[in-house]
């Protein structure tokens, strides 16, 4: 029996070429895909910038080559920033923090670099005191440039100062300058930090009342002669003769006149509102008694006054000093602000217990 012959496939006709390998289909970049790629890149970029602003140095240029703004920098970051920008002045808006490591670290860096350090006391949760705004402008007028301005986060106080810089030294309108107080720099105009923008609301109102637009000399005039931090200004006067009997409780009356531009609000109970705080000290300055008065529901409008009766327990005979001031109490945030912190004059007068 013969072996089967192998089966050989027929050859293709000579006029028909072998089929080529099929290439995978090309993917088209659709508009939707393009938008997805652009959106993803934007999100990544925004996230990186948000991290730099919120968690990083929050460093920005206010006026190219002259003024910069940052958060509180570490000693190494500050050294590098001074060297990179040729900084000649550091304006610290956090005040003199003698018990704070960050303050001494900053002093060491500025001293070693032989640059100026100017300390301005502002709060992110309070309207700035007139004297501190005046001092800030005086520093800006007379210090060496380039300079850098900073607070803790570089957002609120620094935004206020940067807006003042733009108003004084650029042709910006008030609206344009106020962009320095925006989420771009981590400032959110909500809660207590909204008072940073309120400062410029007062300035805008001042201009509107006079039919004027912003000019640098008008900002200087307003700050030096007119600016009042909302309701935080008073005239206090003792109506009772400053002599009281020893070993007996006594009362005295203080007249509080509203010399501010907004009304005062007194409230009953332990909630928020205004209180009159009064303290008696002995000749060595030691507090002997502290009390609060004004626990009632009352509005006091600008130009009006309120007579407040204050009680004191029995005291031994002697010479004492009475110190009294209005306080704004916010128990939720554990924040108590004395009017003197805004530049208002407290009542300070000697009294005799005989």
Examine the fold and report which residue of 225, 257, 276 is the final residue of a domain before the chain moves on. 225
CATH number at residue 279: 2.60.40.10
Is residue 196 domain-shared with residue 249, that is, in the same domain? no
Is residue 178 domain-shared with residue 211, that is, in the same domain? yes
Examine the fold and report which residue of 203, 225, 247 is the final residue of a domain before the chain moves on. 225
Domain that holds residue 331: 234-353
User: Does 141 reside within a domain?
Assistant: yes
pLDDT of residue 47: 40
| Res. 36 pLDDT band, cuts 50 70 90 | low
**Interval 213-246: pLDDT, tens:** 999 999 999 999 999 999 999 999 999 999 999 9
Give me the percent of the chain exceeding a pLDDT of 70.
Answer: 84
Is residue 279 domain-shared with residue 170, that is, in the same domain? no
Q: Mean pLDDT, to the nearest integer, of 184-193?
A: 94
User: Does 19 reside within a domain?
Assistant: no
Is residue 144 domain-shared with residue 258, that is, in the same domain? no
**Interval 267-305: pLDDT, tens:** 997 777 899 999 999 999 999 999 999 999 999 999 999
User: Using an 8 Å Cβ cutoff, are 277 and 348 in contact?
Assistant: no
User: Using an 8 Å Cβ cutoff, are 289 and 247 in contact?
Assistant: no
Look at the chain and report how many structural domains it folds into. 2
- Output the six-digit token pair for 238: 């003792």
Examine the fold and report which residue of 225, 244, 279 is the final residue of a domain before the chain moves on. 225
Is residue 89 domain-shared with residue 212, that is, in the same domain? yes
Nearest to 198 by CA among 159, 244, 147: 159
SS3 string, the chain, reads CCCCCCCCCCCCCCCCCCCCCCCCCCCCCCHHHHHHHHHHHHHHHHHHHHHHHHHCCCCEEEECCCEEEECCCCHHHHHHHHHHHCCCEEEECECCCCCCHHHHHHHHHHHHHCCEEEECECCCCCCCCHHHHHHHHHHHHHCCCCEEEECCCCCCHHHHHHHHHHHHHCCCCHHHHHHHCCHHHCCCCCHHHHHHHHHHHHHHHHHHHCCCCCCHHHHHHHHHHCCCCCCCCEEEEECCCCEECCCCCEEEEEEEEECCCCCEEECCCCCCEEEEEEEEECCCCCEEEEEEECCCCEEECCCCEEEEEEEECCCCCEEEEEEEEEEEEECCCCEEEEHHHHCCCCEEEEEEEC
User: Does 9 reside within a domain?
Assistant: no
pLDDT of residue 41: 44
Is residue 64 domain-shared with residue 198, that is, in the same domain? yes
User: Does 310 reside within a domain?
Assistant: yes
| Res. 30 pLDDT band, cuts 50 70 90 | confident
Is residue 189 domain-shared with residue 307, that is, in the same domain? no
Residues in Cβ contact with 10 at an 8 Å cutoff, skipping those fewer than 6 apart = none
Is residue 132 domain-shared with residue 165, that is, in the same domain? yes
What does the mean pLDDT of the chain come to? 89
pLDDT of residue 37: 63
* Residue 284 or residue 34, greater confidence: 284
pTM of the model: 0.81
Q: Is the pLDDT of residue 141 over 80?
A: yes
User: Does 27 reside within a domain?
Assistant: no
Is residue 193 domain-shared with residue 112, that is, in the same domain? yes
Is residue 207 domain-shared with residue 284, that is, in the same domain? no
**Interval 6-26: pLDDT, tens:** 555 555 555 555 455 555 555
* Residue 125 or residue 23, greater confidence: 125
Is residue 326 domain-shared with residue 200, that is, in the same domain? no
CATH number at residue 61: 3.90.190.10
Is residue 217 domain-shared with residue 277, that is, in the same domain? no
């Amino acid at each position: 029996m013969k072996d089967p012959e192998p089966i050989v496939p027929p050859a293709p006709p000579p006029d028909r070429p072998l089929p080529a390998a099929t290439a995978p289909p090309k993917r088209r970049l659709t508009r939707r895909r393009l938008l997805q790629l652009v959106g993803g890149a934007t999100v990544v970029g925004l996230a990186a910038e948000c991290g730099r602003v919120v968690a990083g140095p929050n460093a920005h240029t206010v006026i190219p080559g002259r003024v910069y703004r940052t958060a509180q920098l570490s000693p190494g970051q500050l050294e590098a920033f001074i060297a990179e920008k040729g900084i000649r002045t550091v304006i610290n808006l956090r005040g003199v923090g003698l018990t704070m490591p960050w303050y001494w670290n900053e002093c060491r860096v500025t001293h070693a670099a032989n640059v100026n350090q100017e300390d301005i006391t502002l709060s992110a949760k309070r309207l700035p005191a007139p004297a501190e705004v005046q001092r800030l402008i005086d520093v800006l007028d007379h210090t060496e440039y380039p300079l850098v301005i900073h607070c803790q986060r570089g957002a609120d106080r620094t935004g206020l100062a940067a807006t003042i810089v733009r108003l004084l030294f650029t042709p910006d309108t008030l609206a344009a300058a106020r962009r320095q107080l925006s989420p771009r720099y981590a400032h959110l105009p909500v809660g207590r930090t909204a008072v940073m923008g309120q400062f410029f609301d007062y300035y805008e109102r001042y201009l509107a009342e006079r039919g004027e637009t912003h000019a640098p000399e008008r900002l200087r005039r307003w700050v030096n002669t007119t600016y009042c931090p909302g309701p935080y200004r008073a005239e206090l006067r003792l109506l009772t003769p400053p002599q009281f009997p020893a070993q007996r409780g006594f009362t005295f009356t203080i007249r509080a006149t509203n010399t501010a531009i907004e009304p005062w609000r007194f409230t009953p109970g332990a909630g928020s509102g205004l209180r009159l705080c009064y303290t008696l000290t002995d000749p060595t300055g030691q507090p002997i008694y502290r009390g609060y008065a004004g626990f009632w529901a009352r509005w006091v409008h600008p130009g009006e006054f309120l007579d407040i009766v204050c009680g004191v327990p029995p005291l031994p005979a002697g010479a004492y000093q009475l110190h009294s001031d209005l306080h704004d109490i916010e128990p939720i945030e554990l924040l108590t602000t004395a009017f003197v912190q805004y530049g208002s004059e407290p009542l300070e007068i000697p009294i005799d217990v005989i």
